[in-house]
Structure 1
Amino acid sequence: MPHDLSALTEALLSAARKAGADAADALAVEGTQIEIGVRAGALEEAERSEGIDLGLRVLIGRRQAVVSSSDARGPTLERMAERAVAMAREAPEDPHAGLADPGQLARERDAARLELADPGDEPDPAALEEAARRAEDAARAVEGVTQVQSAGAGFGRRRVHLAATNGFEGGYARTDRAISCVAISGSGTGMERDWDHDSRIFAADLRSPEEIGRLAGERAAARQGARRPKTGTYPVLFDERVSASLIGHLVQAVSGSAIARGASFLRDAKGTRILPEGLSLVEDPHRVRVQASRLFDAEGLPTARRAIVEDGVLTGWILDLATARKLGEESTANAARATSGTPSPSVTNLELTQGARAPDELMRDMGTGLLVTSFIGATINPNTGDYSRGASGMWIENGVPAYPVSEITVAGNLTEMLARLVPSNDARPWLTRVVPSLLIDGLTLAGD
């Protein structure tokens, strides 16, 4: 039987007050996860997990501590509070720790309009297994595919509830359905691997297993005969499947945590142009049927749409309460936390301005260069922005794909790379990070 998360968080707060806490917040997360995997036509994996996680943060003055547990029984809650208070008394003072003021708290707390949970029944494991089999069959049917490494389908449902002694209380439920497939072409040392995956809140929005398996197979087959191009400086087109990683580096660099430490290549860039004119990076936490959407953050503050970069210019940092206080600014309602940790800055849904041209048009403009479709490893210097990643993809000659390439390194500097982005128009609108393929001229490729 599901727990009453509101009652549990209130019990934790009550126990914290009784134990001597000046202030506290409590987070409860309860969920179910089902994972089904098939291989070579046989069931390989069938896992179901159910559980609850509780987190309690207590404050005594400016000292804080966090404890967590997966035991929701009353005596455990009392011991959690006593332990947290004892730890907080021994913790060093943090002048920036503290809950939100009551006047800062979100008023809208009913997440129904965001459609974060599919009201349908939990899928039968047999239906998930059938979906995984269909994906595997579609991949195996592609010419050139020699085996399917894995095909799987999954379902998750979880409920989250947050309460604090400043008067905040709110929660929401989320669901997700997923199908994935990893296909292999060739044999021995000539084996190449590629994949496809889809994850949605509503089962009705999920792409078909056949499409996912077919795309995984076609991508794997297209990688056969990969070689290394000549070392040099070339234009590089980051495929839509990997382009969001570039925006991820930008986001990390403007996180309040990095800025407060001075460990960011963009630490002095606020109010300056970091992307080409006309490009904006917008965070919108209120997109419907998108997995990262939320009405309030992990400190109870109201979320809102905002441009992190507007017309190429960096408008500000990504902040929770603590980093905002450190920097003398206001929180941007970007706090996130797990039950076992304190809040820290994190983004929700991001969207980069799309361009007018399709990827094949950008390839024609490239002439000769690289289309990156996957990365392996990374060396990123957060202070300087120096960038180096192992990559594979397709070599472009005369504006069209010529042959697959692998075992190469792409290198540059993120400050310069971000300033030269040319976006395509192929971003998938249902993702949490809606980022199209991105062309950057003049990157160094290490090959033969």
Structure 2
Amino acid sequence: MNKVVRWISKRLGVKFLAVSAIALICAGLGHYLVADVIAEWFFYDSRFDTYWESKSETAVQGFQEYVTEKGLTMRDALADTKWHQENPDIIIFTEPAASVEETQSEVQYISIHCADGIIYATSYFPGDTYFFGWNTAGILFGLILFLGIVLPFVVCTIHRINKLYQQVLSSAQSGRSQSIMISGKDEIAELGNEIESMRISLLNLLDNEEQLRKESDQLVASLSHDIRTPLTKLTGYLEILLHKKELTNEDHEVYLAKAVEKARQLKILTDELFNKFVMENKDDPQYIQELIDIGQFLNQLLYEECSELEEDGFLIAQFSSLDLACFCRLHIGDVHRAFDNIFSNLRKYADPRFPITIRSKLDQNKICVIIENHKKACLENVVSHKIGLMTAKTLVEKNEGWIDITQNPTSFSVSISFPAVETCKS
């Protein structure tokens, strides 16, 4: 039974048919109550006998006056169809002797004197004229009951549809931020739930699209920022090769090799800029993480970066290299870009009067590089786009590493860590 009720509650058409059936039954009962029960009580209850007898006597007396005035015979009185049409509830007949004796005790007859004899009329009996009126009243009462039950259901359904429309309209006008809530379990409620699901899906799509746009813009900005570092170094190496005539062949080869290395980095970065979504897709065949000796790799990378810092006038107080053969699975280009951003940040914000400390160590199966420096006294005039460290953090985390940054108004410290796959003493 409960399953049937739940099924009916989910079908608007079935609910309408059920309400209509109930309304039709109530209408039939209302018609029966008025046309049969109340009408029968009104016509046949003993309390109304005096009324009907008075009405009957009045009608018969009128007929008696009509017969006397016209001087009608018994035949003419019985055949006067005009009067019978006006008084259909009066029965007039000649009285058979046998029937009179049998019925005289039960029915009171009224005699009408004609020119050639006497005819008789029964007491007043309510006929079709009065019952037709009560039947009409019963039909109207049943119709009112039917409409009184069906119309509220229809109005409620229309109200729910209008409420759904208003909520959809308000949600559209508010940028789809307003939720759509329709009570019930029928088709209107299901339609509201589907519209709400579509609204949420659309908002998710718009959010994802906005997120992709932001990530794309951030990627383009970070790559454009990263291009500046090797481009600046490449320009410096080429100027050295162009203007310093006293360079030995060995120095010439070293600077030329460095220039070629920076040109390759530029090519990698411009390729990534061209294919800007490659960065977000590790499954791309161009994105390869290699198992490298991170100790040797970082020692070489940090040595080159420190040499360039010293050439730019910065002091290196401490540079501790790794004495372990540590292997990590990394993307070499990402690591180069991350450290280029960090050392570019040092050139921009570090105070050259104070030495920079660079330490590398193995800590709980993690390769850590810690760089500490003093900040410049006046940083208000330094233009910052806040892209370098953010890009470095993204690149390190992409290779399953992490960056911890600690700073105060006078000092700055950054710790870069990568998980070691395998370690052994050299």
Structure 1-normalised TM-score?
0.16
- Structure that is richer in helix per residue: 2
Structure 2-normalised TM-score?
0.17
- Structure that is richer in strand per residue: 1
Q: Which of the pair has the greater relative contact order for Cα pairs under 8 Å at 6+ separation?
A: 1
Tell which structure's C-alpha radius of gyration is larger.
2
